[in-house]
Amino acid sequence: MSSSDQRPRGRKPVTGDDHGKDWASDDAVRHTKEDAINERQFEQMVQATYRMDDDYFARECRLVLFACGRLGMRPGELAHMCEGWINWEDERIEIPKHEPCTDGRTREICGHCRGAAEQMADIRTANTLDEHYQSLGPRDVLEPGGHVHELFVDPEPFYAQLWSPKTENAARKIPYAEASTRAALAVEDYFMHYDEFEASRGVVNRRVDRMAEQAADVDADEIYPHALRATAATYYAARGLSAMDLKALFGWSQFSTAIAYIEESPERLEDALQQLRH
């Protein structure tokens, strides 16, 4: 891949509402781990939601906080969530493999999915260009512009594939009530009032900022939805969840991501040593 494929995102790499973040590699997710907040900071964000005047914002903020920060949902998943994903009887959120996106302003495909389609087309373009250049003989001249330009892939045909979660493993079942009673209450409270998540992917970022601004120990510039997902992963790794179970809960495609959370959990080692003393 040439360096021109790595387009600058225009803002800090781990903040902002850039859609590409949801489609970032597992390496980027591992990097996000450093941005997880601790339990004191998380509780301060919970408290912030109870100081909000407007019921709608409070309810939506709490759903964002618990869905990302305790259930480990990706913000793109939350933005596309509807009540149909919830199996109330078995108390599970069932994230589908695919669902047509109608989250745009006039019920068309939303900006998040458009961004994902552009990324898919970019990857396809990069591969096509690679093949093209590799097929050139030693005497061929690399033709700039003109006919190379025809190899650029149009994102529109990819729209029909969206919305879909980032990988096949991301289509998963989240046992929300077993995971957290407070998360269950936040999910029930929100979907008692609304049939689907009302806001866009970009709004998820703004809700996180709003809570962070009112949480004394949280730096609003340092927290973002994927850092809340990392917070959830840190939380369950510390409580002894296995790599296999972490991978299933978070929908990762690689064990290495789960192992990275487990490796950096001092609580696990402390608990294991304590067990030996009994």
Which residues bind to Zn ion, rule: CB under 5 A? 101, 103, 110, 112-113, 163
CB of 203 to Zn ion, least distance (A): 13
One-letter amino acid for residue 99 of the chain = E
CB of 113 to Zn ion, least distance (A): 3
The tokens for 156 are 């529109």
Distance between CA atoms of residues 85 and 174, nearest Å: 10
Supply angle C-alpha 51, 216, 188, rounded to 5: 40
Name the pairing type of β-strands 92-94 and 173-174.
antiparallel
Helical (H) or strand (E) element with 93? strand 92-94
Nearer residue to Zn ion within complex by CB, 21 or 112: 112
CB of 226 to Zn ion, least distance (A): 17
| b/e 231-253 (16+ beta carbons within 10 angstroms → b) | bbbbbbbbeebebeebbbbbbbe
Distance between CA atoms of residues 170 and 179, nearest Å: 17
CB of 101 to Zn ion, least distance (A): 3
Distance between CA atoms of residues 201 and 74, nearest Å: 10
Name, in order, each residue with C-beta under 8 angstroms of 247's C-beta and a sequence gap of 6 or more: 169, 254, 255, 257, 258
CB of 100 to Zn ion, least distance (A): 9
Nearer residue to Zn ion within complex by CB, 33 or 112: 112
Nearer residue to Zn ion within complex by CB, 113 or 243: 113
Nearer residue to Zn ion within complex by CB, 73 or 262: 73
CB of 269 to Zn ion, least distance (A): 42
CB of 83 to Zn ion, least distance (A): 17
Cis peptide before 252 (omega within 30 of 0): no
Nearer residue to Zn ion within complex by CB, 48 or 113: 113
Nearer residue to Zn ion within complex by CB, 13 or 100: 100
Distance between CA atoms of residues 121 and 116, nearest Å: 9
Nearer residue to Zn ion within complex by CB, 70 or 80: 80
Taking Cα atoms as reference points, which of 226, 215, 165, 211 lies closest to residue 60? 211
The partner residues of 86 in beta bridges, in order of sequence, read 93
